[in-house]
Amino acid sequence: MSYTLPQLITRAAATHPDKPAFRCLGKQVTYRELERQMHQIAGVLKGVGVKKGDRVGIFMARSLETAAAIYGIMAAGAIYVPLNPGQPVSRTYFLLKDCGIEVLLTNDGQKRNLPAVITAESGVKTVLGTTTDLPCQTMSWTEIYAQDDNPPAVNILESDPAYLLCTSGSTGVPKGILHTHRSGLAYAELSVADYNLCENDVLGNHAPIYFDISTLGYFAGPMARATTIIASEAHVKMPASLAQLLEKEQITVWYSVPLALMQMQQSGKLSALDLKKLRWVIFAGEVYPMKHLRRLVNELPQAKFSNAYGPTETNVCTIYNFSELPENMTSLPVGKVRGNTEILLLQDGKPAESGELLVRSPTLMQGYRNRPDLNEKAFYKRPTAAGGTEIFYRTGDLMRRDADGNLLFLGRKDRQVKVRGFRVELDEITETLLRHPQVTAAAVYTRTTADENTEIAATVTTSDPENLTEADLILYLKKELPPYAVPANIRFVKEMPRTATGKIDLKALQNRMQTA
């Protein structure tokens, strides 16, 4: 019998029907209710012509409807594609076209954004979950939840695609990472085992659904029959309220990017709150600055901590768990390889003490959607003695092992960086700047802020120094790129510093900005 992600809900509904599955802004949905909603959405999707393997967009801020949408789409045999409502219209447009999305799930929180996105040219034929007047077929949540809740007759295998996460691409075009029911479930299984998740747990979900960190709450939560608290957009922006949410909901397992934890630390509330039930604090997405992490560990003596590492393509593949930090530790390891996972460190194609990390695991993506060129480069195929092939993903991350067998992150092979946990290809920003008619040369790099965070900065030359301003370029980039990829500042120079070979001297620019 196959095992698929929607079965997490039907199984939990059978054993724990009245247990709250998700809670957001004081409202909650039980496993029984969620199962019903999932089948209603799947039925509606089938009714509007959605077939197995079709991509269905989710365009909404974090809410209870997000959980229903995720599971409803998968139960219809379709693939859910999270779209960030905060990203520029042009990018949403691109993704709608590129993914061939004809049906979108949303809610009335997006009534201001929808008319700009859903035009006659967008290719979208149906928008579900809205009362906004749009040039296509629409249906409200009230109507959806008045439909039959018969389980849809669709044959889904665990190896079928389930969700598509779109991420920054170095050529200026986002790429879609396709995960299957199997890879999502394998990740949830490892997480339930590694953190000993159970029905008594209350999981804090901070990440938006276009970020793979979200799948711990959405998949592993129901697998453990736990309750997942979806932190609303408002909580995410107001760190003092976010910290209060941890106490109010008596969260037992928290998972977010380091920045969210650092902001809660700065809000000054963490140690004053009653967080005695908080047993795991998991963070991922970027490096936790050591001085803030030491403070966090002191503030939460009851909790264990886990530094989780893994690109979206592989899901989390290594973890470093600790209760306290050794005095002499200067950088936090990404830790040891998880179960059901094999890694290689390769340098010039040969196993080495340090080198590029390659990962093989059932948590691995199926591939980049419609990008055979990228898949060719991303996968390393190792022939086996039995005549088969083992497929590894090349992470592009350089690692080495320390004396205790923990992996240490050394850097990237390419120009990908992490900003507030989000993956950004610096070359995508450069390409976008160069498309501006008055920009003649552009260089994009990162710098470290006073509180040890990474921010993006750019230097450009222009053909119109009299008129073009930093504000013009920032506004231009805001229309083309997701908010986290827009540089914190852009400097104008008459001429770029160059290396001996004539390339733009990024090191020189970076040093200049760092001391500025």
Partner 1 sequence: MQQQIITYIETELLAGQENLNLTADEDLLTTGLIDSLGTMKLIAFLEETYDITVPAEDMTIEYFMTVNDMAEYIAARRTANVIS
Contacts with partner 1 by CB under 8 A lie at: 25, 61, 85-86, 109-110, 112, 116, 232-241, 244, 266-269, 420, 475, 478-479, 483
Among residues 264 and 407, whose Cβ is nearest to partner 1?
A: 264
Query: Reduced to 3 states, what is the DSSP secondary structure of residue 354?
Result: strand
User: Are 101 and 50 within 8 A, CB to CB?
Assistant: no
In whole angstroms, give the CA distance from residue 241 to residue 121: 41
Side chain identity at residue 460, one-letter code: V
Element holding 74 (H helix, E strand): helix 64-75
Return phi, psi of residue 202, to 5°.
Answer: -120, 110
Query: Could you tell me the smallest distance in angstroms from the CB atom of residue 245 to partner 1?
Result: 10
Among residues 236 and 357, whose Cβ is nearest to partner 1?
A: 236
Return phi, psi of residue 458, to 5°.
Answer: -140, 155
Query: Could you tell me the smallest distance in angstroms from the CB atom of residue 191 to partner 1?
Result: 26
Task: Determine the angle formed by the axes of helices 290-299 and 258-266, rounding to 10 degrees.
Answer: 60
Among residues 25 and 408, whose Cβ is nearest to partner 1?
A: 25
User: Are 396 and 405 within 8 A, CB to CB?
Assistant: no
Query: Could you tell me the smallest distance in angstroms from the CB atom of residue 98 to partner 1?
Result: 22
Among residues 101 and 260, whose Cβ is nearest to partner 1?
A: 260
Among residues 238 and 441, whose Cβ is nearest to partner 1?
A: 238
Return phi, psi of residue 14, to 5°.
Answer: -75, -40
Opening angle at CA 145, ends 144 and 149, nearest 5: 100
Query: Could you tell me the smallest distance in angstroms from the CB atom of residue 464 to partner 1?
Result: 20
Strand positions, DSSP E, 253-388 = 253-256, 280-284, 304-309, 318-322, 336-337, 342-347, 350-351, 354-360, 367-368, 379-383
Q: Which two tokens stand for residue 241?
A: 């309220």
In whole angstroms, give the CA distance from residue 183 to residue 159: 8
User: From residue 336, how far is each of 87, 132, 398, 491 by CA, in Å?
Assistant: 35, 49, 15, 42
Among residues 7 and 87, whose Cβ is nearest to partner 1?
A: 87
Among residues 97 and 237, whose Cβ is nearest to partner 1?
A: 237
Among residues 25 and 410, whose Cβ is nearest to partner 1?
A: 25
Query: Could you tell me the smallest distance in angstroms from the CB atom of residue 169 to partner 1?
Result: 22
Running DSSP on this structure, what letter comes out for residue 120? G
Query: Could you tell me the smallest distance in angstroms from the CB atom of residue 114 to partner 1?
Result: 11
Among residues 343 and 473, whose Cβ is nearest to partner 1?
A: 473
Query: Could you tell me the smallest distance in angstroms from the CB atom of residue 51 to partner 1?
Result: 31
Return phi, psi of residue 6, to 5°.
Answer: -60, -25
* DSSP collapsed to 3 states, 375-425: HHHHEEEEECCCCCEEEEEEEEEEEEECCCCCEEEEEECCCEEEECCEEEE
Distance of CA 499 to the CA centre of its chain: 36
Among residues 266 and 511, whose Cβ is nearest to partner 1?
A: 266
In whole angstroms, give the CA distance from residue 379 to residue 372: 11
Query: Could you tell me the smallest distance in angstroms from the CB atom of residue 62 to partner 1?
Result: 8
* Total number of residues shown for the chain: 516
User: Are 204 and 226 within 8 A, CB to CB?
Assistant: no
Among residues 45 and 231, whose Cβ is nearest to partner 1?
A: 231
In whole angstroms, give the CA distance from residue 370 to residue 30: 37
Query: Could you tell me the smallest distance in angstroms from the CB atom of residue 290 to partner 1?
Result: 21
Query: Could you tell me the smallest distance in angstroms from the CB atom of residue 448 to partner 1?
Result: 18
Query: Could you tell me the smallest distance in angstroms from the CB atom of residue 58 to partner 1?
Result: 13
Neighbour-count burial of 387, counting CB atoms closer than 10 A to its CB (0-12 exposed, 13-18 middle, 19+ buried): exposed
Query: Could you tell me the smallest distance in angstroms from the CB atom of residue 248 to partner 1?
Result: 12
Query: Could you tell me the smallest distance in angstroms from the CB atom of residue 237 to partner 1?
Result: 5
Among residues 131 and 241, whose Cβ is nearest to partner 1?
A: 241
Among residues 269 and 338, whose Cβ is nearest to partner 1?
A: 269
Q: Which two tokens stand for residue 415?
A: 């120009």
Q: Which two tokens stand for residue 161?
A: 């695609």
Element holding 175 (H helix, E strand): strand 175-180
Closest CA to 391 of 356, 417, 367: 367
